[in-house]
Structure 1
Amino acid sequence: MDTSKVTEYAHALYRAHGNKAEAEAAQRAKKHEDAGDADEAKQWRAVQLAIRELRGAHES
């Protein structure tokens, strides 16, 4: 997943879940890690990080 898609997913999750979006991305990453899908898990961890950065920008 390219950077623009990560950002797009992060914004969409943040709009849908607000401050719970980061936890939602973490849950999805964990689900893929548990299933042995490292690539998908890595992408969700990137989305999680983007949401964390988004939240920081909104809290400033």
Structure 2
Amino acid sequence: MARSGGRIRADVVHRRITAMGFAGGERATRRAVAAVKKSWRAGQRRVFRPWLPEPGLWMPARVR
């Protein structure tokens, strides 16, 4: 997932794992890929934090 940037498709994954010997269906692969993509995206999200200034630190010394 990290190498593709979260853009790997489930049908491509299914072709690769069936070549390795996976006997499950395509629907199971689609569900698994969707779950992995969802968790990967949650870890890649930007976190917005509010700006909380500390009193006295942001004002220039001459203005006080």
TM-score by length of 1: 0.41
Higher alpha-carbon Rg: 2
After TM superposition, the score normalised by the length of structure 2 is 0.39
